[in-house]
Amino acid sequence: MHTWKKTIALILCLVMVLAVTACGDSGNANSGSSSSKNEGGESSADAGDTGEKDYSEKMVISWAGIQIDDTKDYNYGDELTRHFTEKFNIEWDITSLTFENWAERLRIWINSDDMPDMAVWNYLHGEAANYVDQDLVKQLPDNWKSQWPSLASAYSDTIMNEGVEEIFDGTYFLFRPVFSNNRPTEKLSTHMSAYVRTDWAEAVGYEVKDVMKTSELMELAYLFKENDPGNVAEQFGSFYPINMTSAKISYFVQFNSTYSGVTSLPYYLGDDGAYQWGPASEDTLTGLKIMSELYTEGLLHPEFYTIQDPDDYAMFHTTGQSGIYVGEGMAAWFTRHKQNFAEYQGLDFDEVVKLVTVVGEDGYYHGSAVTNYWCTNIFSPHIEDAKLERILDMLDYSCTEEAQLIIRMGFEDVDWESDGEGGYVSLLETGTSASDKYAIFPMYGNMFILSDDFQFINPGFAQNHRDLVKELYLTREANSTEKSLPSEPDWTVFFHESTALNLATMVYTDEYANLVTKEGDIEANWQAWVNEKMNLIQPVLDELNAKIS
Domain 192-368+493-548 has CATH 3.40.190.10: yes
Residue 417 has pLDDT above 50, yes or no: yes
What does the alpha-carbon distance between residue 222 and residue 224 come to, in Å, rounded to a whole number?
5
Tell me the pTM: 0.83
Average pLDDT over residues 13-20: 35
Percentage, residues of the chain above pLDDT 90: 79
Residue 148 has pLDDT above 60, yes or no: yes
Q: Pairing between strand 59-65 and 275-277?
A: unpaired
Q: Which pLDDT score is estimated for 25?
A: 37
Q: Look at 479 and 431; give whichever has higher pLDDT.
A: 479
Residue 27 has pLDDT above 70, yes or no: no
Average pLDDT over residues 56-83: 92
Residue 170 has pLDDT above 50, yes or no: yes
- pLDDT tens readout for residues 206-243: 999 999 999 999 999 999 999 999 999 999 999 999 99
Residue 16's pLDDT band, with cuts at 50, 70 and 90, is: very low
Tell me if 240 sits within 8 A of 233, measured CB to CB.
no
First and final C-alpha spacing in the chain: 22
Tell me if 378 sits within 8 A of 388, measured CB to CB.
no
Q: Which pLDDT score is estimated for 43?
A: 39
Q: In what order do the strands lie in the sheet with 192-197?
A: 211-213, 353-359, 192-197, 324-328
- pLDDT tens readout for residues 185-195: 999 999 899 99
Q: Which CATH superfamily is domain 43-186+371-454 in?
A: Periplasmic binding protein-like II (3.40.190.10)
Residue 42's pLDDT band, with cuts at 50, 70 and 90, is: very low
Tell me if 19 sits within 8 A of 122, measured CB to CB.
yes
Q: Which pLDDT score is estimated for 32?
A: 32
- pLDDT tens readout for residues 343-385: 999 999 999 999 999 999 999 999 999 999 999 999 999 999 9
Tell me if 74 sits within 8 A of 438, measured CB to CB.
no
Residue 11's pLDDT band, with cuts at 50, 70 and 90, is: very low
DSSP type of residue 246: H
The residue ranges of every structural domain in the chain are 43-186+371-454, 192-368+493-548
- pLDDT tens readout for residues 89-119: 999 999 999 888 999 999 999 999 999 999 9
Residue 46 has pLDDT above 90, yes or no: no
Average pLDDT over residues 152-156: 97
Residue 29 has pLDDT above 80, yes or no: no
Average pLDDT over residues 255-280: 96
432 Cβ partners below 8 Å, 6+ apart? 460
Residue 18 has pLDDT above 80, yes or no: no
Q: Is the fold of 43-186+371-454 the same as that of 192-368+493-548?
A: yes
DSSP type of residue 373: E
What does the alpha-carbon distance between residue 170 and residue 182 come to, in Å, rounded to a whole number?
28
Give the 3-state secondary structure of residue 402.
Answer: helix
Q: Over the chain, what is the mean pLDDT? A: 89
Helix (H) / strand (E) element for 194: namely strand 192-197
What does the alpha-carbon distance between residue 340 and residue 343 come to, in Å, rounded to a whole number?
5
Q: Look at 342 and 47; give whichever has higher pLDDT.
A: 342
Tell me if 149 sits within 8 A of 422, measured CB to CB.
no
